[in-house]
């Protein structure tokens, strides 16, 4: 796989060594068991896969290259390049200006752009409408378009579904940049609608089998479907694609459920004409990180620390997986670990910041699960681990531990 030139300050010598050792042992990524680093006073259980994915590293490389190659031009980011506050803040400190916030609200009007300005398209991509507006202004976006290849893969799959007269069901968070972009591209080739979870999939199923009247469809899915969409007509053929950062298992469960609904309506002989198999839209990195989290949870621990941006969808899903098994804290950096008694963290369900006292495990040698989202630099995870080592009064250096005590959980 291609390697990217990303700034050294986003890397961690410690984590790089652990990842390199695992890659050498398991180049095909078949082993999802964690890496256990025994510090004597405590253990750190690192997920097999975490941190920057292909799409994020690609976006970071292109963004910094845009700054380097255009020292005399104003460089803009269409919106947050990725969902990580440190990365976005650093780019802003270097002179990049943001045109929109994460929800698509204008921070600066696009009308201020001149043809020679540099505009970076973020890893999430952008809507067809926004791209057309930029093109009308004479802005050339092709050179610094950081749209993740796996997001573009979803768009291509959606285009094929539309060309074959299937309506496109998008599993995603309706307000997320990527979902908005995927919806925009999908409706170019066919009918499209967004559902956010399995509950909404079941609601859709009730319409399909006649348990709910089509007349109430708009009450449930208002503003979630494309113009001219007639559900009783357009949902006779459908396929499922996803926002690539959603839980892969949930996307697959939704697709399997809707497949079952179409099977019940049209029968074994005909349902394939009404339901398209779209397994190939699942992002490998999202799936690897989620499988690695499931793998680490099987080995047991006392507490989980998940590091990443609070508006990061893929990170929140790792938190969701961990919360089902053990106490879990979602932090954005080491500063949230205030003391051995107090931790600041984020409740992704309620979308609010919290503080918890007495979070440190009361045992002689606690084990901490540590992982992070696909947009979180390893350097931030490293600093979180360093804080844990300070609180745990660890006496040996990381270098010594890596040399003498690092073992792969069997």
The pLDDT value recorded for residue 222 is 94
**Class of residue 322 by CB neighbours under 10 A (exposed 0-12, middle 13-18, buried 19+):** buried
CA 80 vs CA 177, 334, 381: distances in Å: 9, 22, 21
- Do 381 and 89 touch, CB atoms closer than 8 A? no
The pLDDT value recorded for residue 238 is 96
- Cα distance between residue 326 and residue 324, in whole Å: 6
Q: Options 3.40.50.10470, 2.60.120.10, 3.40.50.11270, 3.40.50.1980; which CATH number does 54-136 get?
A: 3.40.50.11270
Query: How far from chain centre, in Å, is Cα 150?
Result: 12
b/e sequence 54-89, b meaning 16+ C-beta within 10 Å: bbbbbbbbbbbebbeebeeeebbbbbbbbbbbbbbe
Copy the structure tokens of residue 224.
């979630």
Residues spanned by CATH 3.40.1010.20 within the chain?
A: 8-53+285-408
- If you classify domain 163-282 with CATH, what class do you get? alpha beta
CA 280 vs CA 55, 204, 241, 301: distances in Å: 17, 23, 9, 33
Residue 407 has pLDDT above 70, yes or no: no
Tens of pLDDT, residue by residue over 267-321, are: 999 999 999 988 767 788 888 999 999 999 999 999 999 999 999 989 999 999 9
**Residue 83 phi/psi, 5° resolution?**
-90, 70
Model pTM?
0.90
CA pseudo-torsion sign 99, 105, 108, 114: positive
- Cα distance between residue 192 and residue 205, in whole Å: 16
95: left (phi over 0), alpha (psi -120 to 50) or beta: left
Residue 265 has pLDDT above 70, yes or no: yes
The pLDDT value recorded for residue 406 is 54
- Do 87 and 375 touch, CB atoms closer than 8 A? yes
Domain 8-53+285-408 has CATH 3.30.1300.10: no
Tens of pLDDT, residue by residue over 204-224, are: 999 999 999 999 999 999 999
Query: How far from chain centre, in Å, is Cα 28?
Result: 22
Residue 409 has pLDDT above 70, yes or no: no
Q: Which residues, other chains included, contact 306 with Cβ-Cβ below 8 Å and sequence gap of 6+?
A: 315, 318, 319, 322, 328, 329, 330, 331, 371, 372, 373
Taking residues 195-202, report their average pLDDT.
97
Tens of pLDDT, residue by residue over 76-87, are: 999 988 889 999
Tens of pLDDT, residue by residue over 43-82, are: 999 999 999 999 999 999 999 999 999 999 999 999 988 8
Q: Which residues are catalytic?
A: 178
- Do 85 and 104 touch, CB atoms closer than 8 A? no
Q: Look at strands 352-357 and 342-347 and give their pairing.
A: antiparallel
Q: Look at strands 75-77 and 118-120 and give their pairing.
A: parallel
């Amino acid at each position: 796989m291609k390697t990217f030139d990303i700034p050294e300050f986003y890397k961690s010598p410690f984590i790089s060594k652990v990842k390199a050792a695992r890659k050498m042992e398991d180049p095909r990524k078949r082993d999802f068991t964690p890496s256990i680093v025994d510090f004597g006073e405590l253990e750190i259980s690192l997920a097999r896969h975490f941190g920057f994915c292909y799409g994020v590293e690609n976006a970071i490389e292109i963004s910094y290259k845009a700054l380097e190659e255009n020292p005399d031009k104003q460089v803009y980011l269409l919106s947050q390049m990725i969902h990580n506050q440190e990365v976005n803040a650093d780019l802003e400190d270097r002179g990049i200006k943001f045109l929109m916030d994460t929800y698509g609200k204008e921070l600066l009007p696009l009308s201020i752009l001149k043809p020679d300005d540099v505009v970076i398209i973020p890893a999430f991509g952008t809507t067809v409408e926004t791209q057309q507006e930029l093109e009308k202004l004479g802005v050339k976006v092709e050179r610094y378009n950081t749209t993740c290849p796996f997001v573009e893969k979803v768009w291509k799959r959606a285009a094929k579904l539309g060309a074959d007269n299937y309506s496109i069901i998008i599993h995603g968070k309706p307000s997320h940049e990527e979902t908005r972009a995927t919806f925009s591209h999908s409706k170019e080739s066919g009918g499209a609608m967004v559902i956010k979870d399995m509950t909404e999939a079941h609601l859709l199923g009730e319409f399909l089998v006649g348990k709910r009247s089509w007349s109430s469809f708009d009450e449930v899915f208002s503003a979630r479907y494309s113009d001219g969409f007639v559900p009783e007509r357009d949902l006779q053929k459908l396929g499922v694609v996803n926002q690539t950062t959603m839980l892969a298992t949930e996307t697959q469960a939704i697709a399997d459920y809707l497949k079952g609904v179409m099977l019940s309506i049209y029968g074994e002989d005909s349902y394939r004409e009404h339901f398209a198999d779209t397994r190939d839209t699942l992002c490998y990195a999202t799936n690897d990180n989620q499988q690695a989290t499931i793998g680490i949870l099987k080995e047991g621990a006392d507490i989980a620390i998940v590091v990443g941006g609070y508006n990061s969808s893929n990170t929140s899903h790792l938190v969701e997986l961990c919360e089902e098994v053990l106490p879990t804290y979602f932090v954005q950096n080491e500063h949230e670990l205030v003391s051995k008694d107090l931790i600041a963290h984020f409740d992704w369900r309620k979308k609010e910041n919290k503080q918890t006292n007495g979070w440190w495990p009361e045992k002689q040698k606690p084990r901490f699960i540590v992982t992070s989202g696909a947009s979180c630099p390893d350097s931030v995870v490293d600093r979180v681990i360093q804080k844990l080592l300070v609180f745990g009064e660890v006496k040996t250096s990381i270098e010594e531990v890596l040399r003498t005590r690092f073992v792969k959980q069997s």
